[in-house]
Chain A
Amino acid sequence: MKIIAIVSAKGGVGKTTFSANLGTEFARTGLPTVAIDLDPQDALRLHFSAQAPGPEGLVQATLAALPWRQHFLRTGNACELLPYGRVQESSREAFEQVLREQPRLLQDSLQGLRLPQDAVVILDTPPGPSAYLTQALSACNAAVVVLLSDAASYATLPMMQTLLKRYCLSRSDFSDYAYLVNQVDHSRQLNSDVAYVMRMQFGARSLAPVHQDQAIPEALASNQFVGDYDPLSRAAHDLGAVSEQLLRMLTVGAGSAA
């Protein structure tokens, strides 16, 4: 089992959309894939045409001490989803309290799932530091920092690096992290320039950029994944390239750790 955390310091960078599409890409290559929503917005389920529209998810299962697997949703494609769950404010606070008290909760629960060896788990997280982010970073084998190519994203880099250093880099089961620059638009000079600077700075940790593409919002609106909605689009192409890169990163990382 490989766990990838999708993180960012700033909201609105496209983490959830990316998590959903990445999960689908992985599932397509034949890997058992689970996407887990750690974001109280409970938005990841919107990207999957979930067949069981029940309100329960991660929170209900944890608070009721039920196995997580019970709330896995079969989705429209091979990727399975564990939604956050539609919850009252009190339940959310209780859940977050549990997360703070048991720093290894996510890690242990994931191990307890006994997923196949080649399974991939994708963790979607809320923006900025939180108990969710701490849990995700402590549990993952790899992390993807999602950014927009703008000055605001650029300014958040030091904070993210501090968190990665604290929770990930010292662990022997952690492969590596990488940066994804999202919604790159070369027809806008500043956007293009910042993307350039970021890629130069990130070097080998730079994933292939995902370009601004109308196919992404259109796919969401029509309840499809980009790769299904418009397989010839730049965005579909980019997402495919990134998932391949991440798979390679995980395999190489596992090899070097062993």
Chain B
Amino acid sequence: MKAAATQASGLYPGEPRTGLFDPAPSVHKARPLLWALAAIVAAVLCALVIAVPLDTEQQFGFGLVTLAAALWIRHKVAGPLGAMFLIALSVTGSLRYMFWRLSSTLDFDNLIGTVLGWGLVSAELYALVILLLGYVQTALPLRRQPKALPADTGLWPTIDIFIPTYNEPLDVVRGTVLAAQSMDWPADKLRVYVLDDGRRDVFKRFCEEAGAAYLTRSDNQHAKAGNLNAALKRTDGEFVAIFDCDHVPTRSFLQLTLGAFLHDPKLAMLQTPHFFYSADPFERNLNTFRIVPNEAELFYGLVQHGNDLWNASFFCGSCAVLRRAPLMEVGGIAVETVTEDAHTSLKMSRRGYNMAYLGIPQAAGLATESLSAHVGQRIRWARGMAQIFRIDNPFFGPGLRLGQRLCYANAMLHFFYGLPRMVFMTAPLAFLFFGAQMFQASGAMVLAYALPHILLSIAANSRLQGQFRHSFWNEVYETVLAWYILWPVLLALVNPRLGRFNVTVKGGVIDKDFFDWRMGLPYMVLLGLNLLGLVGGVWRLLSGDGTVSTVLINLVWGSYNVIIAGASVYVAHEARQQRNTPRVNATIPATIFFANGRTLACETRNFSSTGVGLNLPPRASLSIGEQVRIALSRDQLATVLPGTVVNVGDWIGVAFDELSVAQQRELGQITFSRADAWAGAWGTAKPDTPLGSLRDVINLGLGNLLRLAFRRDSAARMRVAVGARPPRPNNP
């Protein structure tokens, strides 16, 4: 670890990379013997710590000492050093647990016990592998900074912007096209292409009016990947920037991202975060928007930075820049799998090209609009990653360094959690219902080994991920998706050729709250089974059937499952979503011009492409239906747009009248194109406290469940849980 850390600090973006598993040359040559010796000593010590058998009291003692150490480090040792210590403790506790588990608990006496027992231990092995890979991946996030471009714009490269679309409404795509054209880049070196697989006249007319190039092809083969490849054949910019049609880029996107390519000629791809103006189904239905980090934040806030250290950050399909030459060298965008983005990265990595991740939101879009759409998107990701794992496995094949193999493999293996998660959600039932013993060990021994394993990993992950994923929320996110991705992943592993690309639906409206019974069914079943299991466990306690400690352990496990399943059920409760264009909270200086020439100075409360919400000073008054003009200004830019007052209350809503393309462009430049209008929520979530998160999840899982059971009539009141906390100041 020391060697990796030392070398990583010298690894500034753009410098020629050396593999992190190669020790720095000087060290390598100077003292090879010493290094080998140190490695052997470390290995022997590790083996001892992992394998030495202890009796129950001694193992409890080990657990207490390591937990105390972890608590002390958590509060006293800041920075990467503390993280490393916590990881070391967690790895020790978990490997010790697994060694004991494999060597002392699998002595089954009947077939059912054997099958279930090995099933459980396999799921645990998977979880352990993911835990360890996760540590490798995220222990030292690179967090690179942008590189400056040369002062002479003559040296700046030519760029093609691709905006692929298939069936999304023009209202969603329009802002993206106008924003792409407004990016700060020499006009003769920037071309914006709309790639319309829907071949729609209204898009063609809009592109003509806006001055964007409009490309279509005769078939829709290979969906988005095919669409991009067709455009690659008809264009010739040195770089290609790709935006999903709802990802509105900021003005600064190109200037922040292209510098890295000029500094590192081997750099083939640079990815930036996918940021969402709107709440995803988890955030909306659980009322956690901007309070609890969402599902994507872990990936873009930490995992990609971690990948970047190992030169293994990968292309995510949008908000990224690719260098054309290496892209064409691997045959364009990959078409073999439904996650063409990650696979394209892998292919370029194998050719020795570098990948980069710049963690500054430079584009923002719409989150998936409903749980079913969200699940559909994740099914595609899971299926595609499983396909890559089958047909182009990162552990094998040429060109990759060990770190890259591990990171790519983790990105894929991560999506295999479906089956293990279902195992964990049902495992205690085997005992609670049937008395099947899956651990051949005393309850005290199980606790002595399992508690350090679990608690130390929570401590380490809370330190590593706390800003981007709160403890226990992972379980909720995974459980919701587990059942749905399980089957596509298994299918893709069996036959990677099966499965189609499904387009993620965005920008929809949900008229009223409703419970999506079809989507919620798997969690309802899990919830019901675990509740029954708890009944069975209590009956066992009362009737004295089974060791008390074993019953209690399974009861606690079952209760935890009830909480997680309860929270998951609640995600299927679709909360009302009124708008089909994103509405972003932001404060921008505004002026209302009245018909008589008078004015009112105020500020926006939020904006969308079709209107603004305005905070009025006290004493000001307007009436519904009043015709006004709204001036918005920021720095040197300003625009004046006609509109009608449509809503009067604590704040007023003004809907813009029909805007010309020029007016839409101006509006976009002041609002969506400016990251400071909306990026305030990036990485500013409250840091994790494991106990606080546990309380949130319990509140969500049990609290909402009770409310669901007893107050079926008032849907609104059920959605309290964690949303009841006061919002942070920058998110009024």
Contacts and interface: CB of A to CB of B under 8 A. Distances in A.
B596 A232 contact: no
Interface in B610-655: 617, 619-620, 629, 631, 633, 636-640
Dominant secondary structure at the B interface: strand
B598 A233 contact: yes
A195 B596 CA distance: 24
B640 A236 contact: no
Residue in A200, A214, A218 whose Cβ sees the most chain B Cβ within 10 Å = A214
A193 to B, nearest CB: 10
B667 to A, nearest CB: 12
Contact of A199 (B591, B600, B631, B636): B636
A215 B600 CA distance: 10
Contacts of B639: 186
A213 B631 CA distance: 12
Given A232-B617, A232-B619, A234-B591, A200 B636 contact: yes
Contact of B599 (A195, A196, A234): A234
Interface string A195-217: 11001100000000001011100
B631 A186 contact: yes
Contacts of B617: 232
A51 B600 CA distance: 31
Given A186-B631, A187-B629, A214-B596, A232 B601 contact: yes
B638 A192 contact: yes
B599 A187 contact: no
Q: From B597, B600, B601, name the one whose CB has the most chain A CB atoms within 10 angstroms.
A: B601
A194 B565 CA distance: 62
Nearest to B617: A232
Interface string B591-608: 101001111110000000
A39 interface: no
A214 B598 contact: yes
Contacts of B593: 187
Contacts of A187: 593, 629, 631, 640
B590 to A, nearest CB: 9
Interface centre among A192, A199, A230, A235 (most CB of B within 10 A): A192
Contacts of A211: 591, 599, 631
A199 B631 CA distance: 18
Given A186-B633, A187-B629, A234-B591, A215 B638 contact: no
A72 B638 CA distance: 42
B640 A233 contact: no
Contacts of A196: 636-637
A232 B638 contact: no
Given A232-B620, A234-B591, A186 B638 contact: yes
Given A186-B640, A192-B638, A196-B636, A213 B599 contact: yes
Contacts of A218: 598
Nearest to A238: B601
Interface in A63-93: none
Interface residues of A, number: 20
A218 to B, nearest CB: 8
Contacts of B597: 213-214
A214 B599 contact: yes
A86 to B, nearest CB: 33
Given A186-B631, A196-B636, A215 B601 contact: no
Interface in B335-351: none
Nearest to A198: B636
A83 to B, nearest CB: 30
Contacts of A100: none
A211 B638 CA distance: 11
Residue from B598, B599, B600, B637 with most neighbouring chain A CB atoms (10 Å): B599
Nearest to B602: A232
A237 interface: yes
Contact of A236 (B601, B620, B633): B601
Contacts of B633: 186
Nearest to B631: A186
A199 B636 CA distance: 7
A230 B598 contact: yes
B660 to A, nearest CB: 12
A233 B636 contact: no
Given A186-B633, A187-B629, A235 B599 contact: yes
B629 A233 contact: no
A172 B390 CA distance: 78
A107 B726 CA distance: 58
Contacts of B638: 186, 192, 195
A233 B598 CA distance: 7
B591 A215 contact: no
Interface in A171-187: 186-187
Contacts of B601: 232-234, 236-238
Contacts of A234: 591, 599-601, 631
Contacts of A215: 598-599
Nearest to A233: B599
Contacts of B631: 186-187, 211, 234
Interface in B577-600: 591, 593, 596-600
Contacts of B620: 232
A230 to B, nearest CB: 7
Question: Which of A186, A199, A200, A230 neighbours the largest number of chain B CB atoms within 10 Å of its CB?
Answer: A186
Interface string A234-252: 1111100000000000000
Contacts of B599: 211, 213-215, 230, 233-235
B99 to A, nearest CB: 67
A100 B61 CA distance: 98
A165 to B, nearest CB: 26
A187 to B, nearest CB: 4
A233 B591 CA distance: 8
Contacts of A199: 636
Contacts of A200: 636
A150 to B, nearest CB: 16
A231 B568 CA distance: 52
A220 to B, nearest CB: 14
Contacts of A238: 601
A199 to B, nearest CB: 5
Nearest to A237: B601
Contacts of A186: 631, 633, 638-640
A215 B638 CA distance: 20
A143 B59 CA distance: 80
A237 B639 CA distance: 18
A238 B591 CA distance: 11
Nearest to B598: A214
A147 to B, nearest CB: 15
Contacts of B629: 187
Interface string B522-534: 0000000000000
A111 to B, nearest CB: 39
Contacts of A230: 598-599
A117 to B, nearest CB: 33
A202 to B, nearest CB: 11
A232 B600 CA distance: 5
A187 B629 CA distance: 9
A96 to B, nearest CB: 39
Contacts of B640: 186-187
A190 B567 CA distance: 57
A218 B599 CA distance: 12
A92 B620 CA distance: 48
A195 B598 CA distance: 21
Nearest to A211: B591
12 contacts: A186-B639, A196-B636, A200-B636, A213-B598, A213-B599, A215-B599, A218-B598, A232-B619, A232-B620, A233-B599, A236-B601, A238-B601
Interface of A: 186-187, 192, 195-196, 199-200, 211, 213-215, 218, 230, 232-238
Given A186-B640, A187-B629, A233-B600, 4 more contacts: A211-B591, A230-B599, A232-B620, A238-B601
Q: Which 10 pairs of residues, A with B, have the shortest CB-CB distance? A: A214-B597, A237-B601, A234-B599, A187-B640, A186-B638, A234-B591, A234-B601, A186-B640, A233-B599, A213-B599
